[in-house]
Structure 1
């Protein structure tokens, strides 16, 4: 499976993606978690808060300003070198987080990450792995090519008008960015059946899973830990476990595409465009 979690900021994407990654790993899958958000989130929800991000040194820049992987590595080799082990055997690869120095200080990490996600679809080293990506809020990364590995999107929506309006826009961007990829609705922070029905009606699609509003999740987030560790029997964990089971039953395995690859985008041997990649 090649999954990416998308939706509005604050909808609960990191909790869903991280918990899903660990549940799938517990079910025997090799899981690579991709955190492409420049703000903290997925590592805390995985229980790997001290994880080091992909360093700037993963790439080198030539005289023409083009980025290339360092030490003669390719995308898969770089991912294998710098992905760290998280709980339950999940491997986590995260982009550097923008700090006080601004986005220019993490330009190498961002471009390295972008180059990796562009090539994962073709990497035999990860052919039988499950990939779970946690994207930042909105549809910008999807529109700019950060979802080249994705076979199925999970649209996380809480039952608010702002979240539903954002979800409708993000759904359109994601499906245009990856024609043929599947997309499933996950209603999060639901207080009852009416919440799920409202979101389903607004988006005109059924929910694959409904994750309830859960005080256990709120306590875990306040403590900066994984809800799987803090409250493993919580209703949210149970709902995400059922989501994992449904995804395993419904999602086709990844197949490396045949034929010529599309032209390499910014970062893969092309001049860098930081305004488009550093987000």
Structure 2
């Protein structure tokens, strides 16, 4: 299952995504957390020290190695340099799985425990001095999109991505790579505006979008969100002393989370698990190819000096059966 957390800046999406990661890990489930926000705070929210978070390897900095591994022996991709963020897998490509060891995880991921439960974290990386004024952050997020395009996950395997704020997620096809998108919204007009914009943009792409209210202080706040987002409202989080202690660096155990907020996490988990049987791998692959063709025509062909449409394997559909075939090799 691939899950995205989105919302306006300051809505608390990093806090809630970290809570959800900890909830999954605490249930003994395999989980890969990915920080794809330009403000890299997910590691700290999961309990890493500032030094540990700063020492995390960057997916963006390792993009050439990621491409080389994923290319495998796919005959349609002449070299790693010709791969762009939307390059789809085909026969001969290497696929990623949540539970495995591979060179991508070895170079870009770190494993650690939270509350005694193991999880794996990857981060896109922050801007460096070399990036300032010459690079777009989406060039770093492209590493996440490429990995998700090559990742085949099964039931009760989870990838949780803390996305960029607001509508920046729509600058690439990354927003279509998820089984569930949780939009974190405070009970404010600005937050509701971000929700409406996101829903409008996502309407034509079969994005499963649910709203998680945050910083809900009472019945009036709840009523406001219910009126503003209707049936898309799935769960709400109230004010939390547990979260306050976490933000102060005290690292409380998840078992001490307030009962109402713990119930909200469980409701979100149920919603995610309910979506997996509905996954349409054909549509998932078609969307991947569609965004690749858009990017190829817009800028990719000129950058690569070749027609990137030739990278598409017309007889390949990413699926769990492909995953099992790869495991058997």
TM-score, normalised with respect to structure 2: 0.67
SS at match of 2:126: coil
Aligned to 1:221: 247
Aligned equivalents of 1:213, 1:65: Cα separation in 2: 48
Aligned to 2:123: 94
SS at match of 1:155: strand
Please list every run of 5 or more consecutive structure 1 residues that lacks an aligned counterpart in the other structure: 274-279
Aligned to 2:5: 5
1:80 to 1:64, Cα distance in 2 relative to 1, 3 A = closer
Q: Aligned-pair distance for 1:119? A: 4.7
Answer with 32-41 or 198-207: which moved more: 198-207
Aligned to 2:257: 233
Aligned to 1:140: 168
Aligned equivalents of 1:78, 1:217: Cα separation in 2: 35
Q: Aligned-pair distance for 1:32? A: 1.2
Instruction: Give yes or no for the alignment of 1:149 onto 2:177.
Output: yes
Is contact 1:37-1:134 (8 Å) kept?
yes
Aligned to 1:33: 33
Is contact 1:79-1:116 (8 Å) kept?
no
Q: 1:205 aligns with which of 207, 212, 231?
A: 231
- What is the root-mean-square deviation in Å for CA atoms of aligned residues? 3.7
- Spell out, residue by residue over 1:74-112, the C-alpha distance to the aligned partner (whole angstroms, 9 max, x if none): 5735542322114322211110112455447887x9646
Aligned to 2:64: 59
**Rg larger in structure:** 2
Aligned to 1:85: 111
Q: 1:188 aligns with which of 214, 217, 232?
A: 214
Q: Aligned-pair distance for 1:54? A: 2.3
Is contact 2:60-2:143 (8 Å) kept?
no
Q: Which has the higher helix share?
A: 2
Q: How many residues align?
A: 265
Aligned to 1:164: 192
- Spell out, residue by residue over 1:232-263, the C-alpha distance to the aligned partner (whole angstroms, 9 max, x if none): 33357524432344325532248572477616
1:252 to 1:220, Cα distance in 2 relative to 1, 3 A = same
Question: Following superposition, which runs of at least 4 residues in structure 1 exceed 3 angstroms of deviation?
Answer: 60-69, 99-107, 109-113, 225-229, 234-237, 253-256, 258-261, 263-267, 269-273
Q: Aligned-pair distance for 1:143? A: 3.8
Q: Aligned-pair distance for 1:213? A: 1.4
SS at match of 1:204: helix
